[in-house]
Amino acid sequence: MPSPITGPFAPSVVRLGVPLLDWQLWCLGRDIHAPGGNLLGRAGFVRHRPEILGTGTAAYVRDLGRGQRLIAWGFGIFFGDDTEGGVLLRRHGFLPRLAPFADVPMPTWLPEQVAPVRSPRDGAAWQRARRLVAGIAAAMAAHERFVLEAAGPEHRRQCAAERPRHVRRALSVSPLETAEAWDALAVALRDDVPLSPSALSSAA
């Protein structure tokens, strides 16, 4: 039976996933203000402001094609697939909340508005959660490669420099290896295995 702490994920996946998700959401926020222009807009994200300004966080929605979409807020990420439904990952903690829907109507600006969602409760649901969170990992890896190509490595170095030092230390990989970290997580999730010790050999 899956651990109630780590859910369907191996502990090594959770240890990397928790700080990596927090770092990624920080980076997405900094991508809006990149020196060369809004990288989220250039990557295909569409912004939806809160209906009541000052009461929540803007949503950034990207159509990934193939019936899939990604929605990012300051509080977390939602990934939807027209066949599988959706999953919400909150910013702090790497615990999946499955949704029976594959899209979130806009405007949505608070986590409680992404509902109903629930923890997986049987083996089939845990399998579905792994596939959907692997979709988040694949999408974030692709975004990081786009950012490095569009803005160069200095942008991600600056994102890291602007974070408090104690927060920076929580992430065990180089800011320039974020795509590779997401790749490793995607493989571990899809195959339901721990992270290989060599998977992140470039860890900082």
Q: What is the pLDDT of residue 7?
A: 55
DSSP-assigned states of every residue in 115-173? -S-B---SHHHHHHHHHHHHHHHHHHHHHHHHHHHHH-HHHHHHHHHTS-HHHHTT--S
- Please name the amino acid found at residue 73: W
Q: What is the pLDDT of residue 71?
A: 98
Per-residue pLDDT of 139-160, as tens digits, reads 999 999 999 999 999 999 999 9
Domain count, the chain: 1
Is 4 a domain residue? Answer: no
Is 10 a domain residue? Answer: no
Is 196 a domain residue? Answer: no
User: What integer best gives the mean pLDDT of the chain?
Assistant: 91
Rounded to whole angstroms, what are the CA distances from 129 to 9, 134, 195?
9, 8, 17
Is 46 a domain residue? Answer: yes
High-pLDDT (> 90) share of the chain, %: 75
Per-residue pLDDT of 103-124, as tens digits, reads 999 999 999 999 999 999 988 9
Is 109 a domain residue? Answer: yes
Q: What is the pLDDT of residue 155?
A: 97
Q: What is the pLDDT of residue 6?
A: 43
**Host domain of residue 48:** 16-191
Is 127 a domain residue? Answer: yes
Cα 142 to chain centroid distance, Å, stands at 11
Is 6 a domain residue? Answer: no
Per-residue pLDDT of 166-199, as tens digits, reads 787 788 889 999 999 999 999 999 988 888 766 6
Is 140 a domain residue? Answer: yes
CA angle 22, 28, 30 (to 5 degrees): 105
On the question of pLDDT at 136 being above 50, the answer is: yes
